[in-house]
Amino acid sequence: MSIGKVSLIGAGPGEPGLLTLKGRDCLAQADVIVYDYLANPVLLGHGRSDAEQIYVGKNRGCHSLPQDDINQLLAAKARAGLRVARLKGGDPYVFGRGGEEAAFLHEQGIPFEVVPGVTAGFAAAAYAGIPLTHRDVTTSLALLTGHERPERKLSSLDWQTLATGIGTLIFYMGMTNLETICAQLMAHGRPATTPVAVIQWATLPRQKTLTAPLAEIAARVVAAGIEPPAVIIIGEVVGYREELRWYDNLPLFGKRFLITRPREQAQYFVDLLQGQGAETICIPTIEIAPPESWQDLDQALEELNRYQGVILTSANGVSAFFERMRTKNLDLRALAGVEIIAVGPKTAQSIAAYGLKPDLIPADYRAEGVLTALLARGVEGQRFLYPRTEIARDVLRVSLTAAGAQVDAPVVYRTIAPQNKTDMIRHLLAEKELDAICFSSSSTFENFSAMLGAELKHLQGRAAFFSIGPLTSKTIRQHGFKVALEPQSSTLDDLVAAMVDYYTTS
C-alpha cells in the first residue's frame, strides 16, 4: 500500500472567507480531516461528505488529544494510504506547533506539505483598524507568545529590547499573563501611556476590541470580561484605530440572526448578512423532500410540447423540475417553443443555471404578479404547467382556469419539519441571544410555530420577527405575532437592505 500525504493547513483566524484557495482544495481532496479548536467548523463543509472528521482541539488547558498522540494519529492515517488534512487555526508555523508536527512526519518518512494561513495577529489588526507598521510611527514589529512552556514563564523574552527597540508587539495567548507583560514592558522603559488593543474573537461578528494605555489595559480587560481567544497589540500604531476601524462599523455588526431557510439555500442569505457584519445561526425549520409520487409530473413531461408555458415560482421548484427532466432523459430541446415564466429574479437565476433565460419575469415578484402579467395579454385556450410545492396557494391555478386556461399543477416537492432542532431554538430565545429571526416563507414560520407550540407565546418578545414579504407576514400575524420588518420587494437582497435601514435609523 502506498503512503498517503499530510497537508498542514492554516485555517486562518476564524472568518471562513480568509481560508486560502489551496487550503480549500486540500480539504476537498482529503480522506481525513483533523481539526483544532480555533479552526472554524464551517470550513469542514469544504470536505467530502464521506471524509472522516477528527477533533483534536485544545481549549485553555483542556486537551482532547495530547500533541504526541496527534502526531501519531497523522502518521497512522497517512500510513494507511489516506490523504490527511490537518486543519490548524491561523498559520501552522506561527505558534501553531506545525513545526513539531512537520518534524515528526519527516522523521517517520511521511510526505507532507504546508499550506500557509492568515495568522491571527495580522488578521486581528486589520479587522480592528490597526496598521501594524506605519512609516510615520514604526517600521518594526515582533510576534510573541505570552504562554510559553510552563517551566519558562516568559523568562526567555528580552524585555529591554521589546520595551525600547521594537515598535509594534503582537502577543498571542497572552491573556493569562497580560498584567505581567505590561509590568515588564513598563519596568524596562516602555511608556505607561503606550496604546494597547486587546482583540477577542478577531474577524468574527462577535469580535470585541478594547483599547487603553499600557498602565490600564490589564484592569480594563478584567472589568470588560474579555477572555481568550484574544490577541494583544502594543504600540503607537494602535492610535490609528479610531480613524481606520471598518469592521465593527458595519451596520449589522454585533447583531445575531436566526436563519430558518433550508440549509442548502441559506448560504447566499448568510453571505449577505455577514457582509454587513452580522452573526448568523442557521437552524432550518423546513427541509425539502420529494413528492410522494412523481406520476403527475412524469405524465406532464411526456407531453411538454402541448404546453404554451411553464410557470416556476421557487428555486426548489426549478431544481425539482429540471432534475426530473434529466431523470426522464429529456434535455432542453424538449422545451422548444414553450414559454418559461419565472416569479422573480432569484427564480430566474436558478433557471439560468440550467441554461435557459426566462421569457417572462413580472414586476411584482409574487404569484399575483405572474397572474397579472398573463391575464393582461390573455390566456384563454392556453395550457400551462405549474410545478409546485405541496402547500402552494391555489391562486394561480384557480384564477388562470377561471380565465379560460388549462393549468396542470403537479407537486414536485414537499416541505417537512426537521427533527431535533427545537431545544436549540428554545435556548436561544429563552436566553435572549437573538436580535431577530428571519422568515423567508410562510412554511418556515408555520413549522417554527409548530416546533415550539404554546411555549412560543411565552417566548415572544425575546427576538424580533423579520419577514421576506406580505404573504409570510400575513401568516405570522395570523398566529398572533408582530412583524417588525418587511421589505418593499420580496427578495433576500431587499430584506437585508431593510435590515440595515432598520438598525441604522432606529
Active site residues: 36, 58, 173
Distance CA 368, CA 380 (A): 18
Q: Of 346, 378, 343, which Cα lies nearest the Cα of 361?
A: 343
Phi-psi region of 328 (alpha: psi -120 to 50; beta: other; left: phi over 0): alpha
**What are the cell numbers at 258?**
436566526
Residue 70: which of 13, 6, 1 has the closest Cα? 6
The answer to whether the beta carbons of residues 54 and 74 sit under 8 Å apart is: no
The cell 431554538 sits on which residue? 425
Residue with cell 457584519: 277
For residue 112, the SS3 value is strand
Alpha-carbon distance of 189 to 65, in angstroms, equals: 41
> How many residues appear in the chain?
506
C-alpha dist (Å) from residue 415 to 263, 352, 387: 13, 24, 14
CA 343 to each of CA 332, 346, 350, 442: distance values in angstroms, whole numbers, following the listed order: 20, 8, 11, 17
Q: Please report, as a single letter, which amino acid is at residue 271.
A: D
> What is the spatial distance between Cα 156 and Cα 163, in angstroms, rounded to a whole number?
14
Matching residue, cell 504562554:
147
The DSSP bridge partners found for residue 8 are: 86, 114
DSSP SS3 for 52: strand
Nearest residue to 79 (alpha-carbon basis) of 105, 102, 97: 105
Q: Which of 220, 212, 206 is nearest to 40 (CA)?
A: 206
Report the alpha-carbon distance of residue 279 to residue 433 in Å, rounded. Answer: 11
